[in-house]
Amino acid sequence: MALTLMWGINWPMMKYSLRELSPLYFRALTMSFGALWLYSFYRFKGVRMMPQGAEWRSVVTLGLPNVLGWHTLAILGVKELASGRAAILGFTMPIWTVLLGVLVFKEKLTKRIGLAVLAVALAIGLLTFNELTALTGKPLGIVWMELAALSWAAGTLMMRRAHLSMPMETLTVWMLILASACLWLLAAVMEPWPAWQFSAPMWGSLIYGALINYGFAQIIWFGMARHLPPATSAMSVMAIPLVGTLSATLIVGEVPHWQDFVAVLCVMAAIAAVLLPPRKTVENS
């Protein structure tokens, strides 16, 4: 529940921040301070915070899709789309996770997975058609968000199959540190240097991004992805698109259309299709 609220509200908070700061600098700034806060917190608690030897390979290989890929592509999608719509598309990730498991690791393709794929396809189709027909439509944002979802799905599968000797806290912090360094470089090349003069609400949004999105929520998610089965770890994201869509009205004044609500229901139904355990048949003795 806490993770659902944290990440759901974070989508319109990101959209609000992009009114005063370009996307890559926003990501670099909030991720850097979030990583430093986590590093200090866990070092104070006595956690071993320095990877050793071959552990650095895990930091890099897992950090590329889980942190750098997801967060970079997602913020580009948020810039183009309404934040609630971006959340809906981004959190198709559990379905892509299952599909990649079928394609790459030869997991079983069930009827439920087929229904989930159809539901997600309907959601993406509805939002794509709306973006193409709207006067201010930006279908490129849909591409960014689905690439982000695929990156996160691949990272989730890699995380689950990784053999780690370092604490999860150490892995998470160093993935954030290295990804934020890459983001500072990308921002310097691709975006103009900001003025760094923000309004009070903007400072609040930046603090939320650093302490909540890159603090508590990241630790909760990576711990779940590492130690729990796919169905359980994905359960926490089921209602995030709905929270993001509804909270966007209050935070950034976005008014959802009927396509958004139908897409939310489709994505939630798709996640439920791959999460709910199969009904057991009762045999008469």
pLDDT digits (tens, 9 = 90+) for 227-281: 665 555 556 667 888 899 999 999 999 999 999 999 999 988 888 887 666 665 4
- Say which residues have a Cβ less than 8 Å from residue 217's Cβ, sequence separation at least 6: 3, 6, 7, 10
Instruction: Give the closest residue to 159 by CA, choosing from 262, 67, 34, 28.
Output: 67
- Say which residues have a Cβ less than 8 Å from residue 159's Cβ, sequence separation at least 6: 62, 66, 222, 225, 226
Amino acid 57: pLDDT: 95
Per-residue pLDDT of the chain (285 residues; tens, 9 = 90+): 677 889 899 999 999 999 999 999 999 999 999 999 999 989 998 999 999 999 999 999 999 999 999 999 999 999 999 999 999 999 888 888 888 888 888 778 788 888 888 999 999 999 988 888 876 778 899 999 999 999 999 998 998 888 889 988 899 999 999 999 999 999 999 999 999 999 999 999 999 999 998 888 877 766 665 566 555 555 666 788 889 999 999 999 999 999 999 999 998 888 888 766 666 544 443
3-state secondary structure 23-66: HHHHHHHHHHHHHHHHHHHHHHCCCCCCCCCCHHHHHHHHHHHH
* Tokens read off for 34: 């979030």
Amino acid 260: pLDDT: 93
Amino acid 281: pLDDT: 46
- Kindly tell me the sign of the dihedral angle through the C-alpha atoms of 104, 105, 106, 112: negative
What are the boundaries of each domain within the chain? 2-275
CB-CB neighbours of 55 under 10 Å:
15
Amino acid 181: pLDDT: 97
The whole-angstrom separation of Cα 222 and Cα 211 is: 16
The whole-angstrom separation of Cα 211 and Cα 36 is: 10
Amino acid 112: pLDDT: 84
SS3 of 192, please? Answer: coil
- The 3-state DSSP composition of the chain as helix, strand, coil percent (nearest 5) reads 75, 0, 25
The whole-angstrom separation of Cα 253 and Cα 275 is: 33
Amino acid 110: pLDDT: 82
The whole-angstrom separation of Cα 43 and Cα 24 is: 28
The whole-angstrom separation of Cα 148 and Cα 155 is: 11
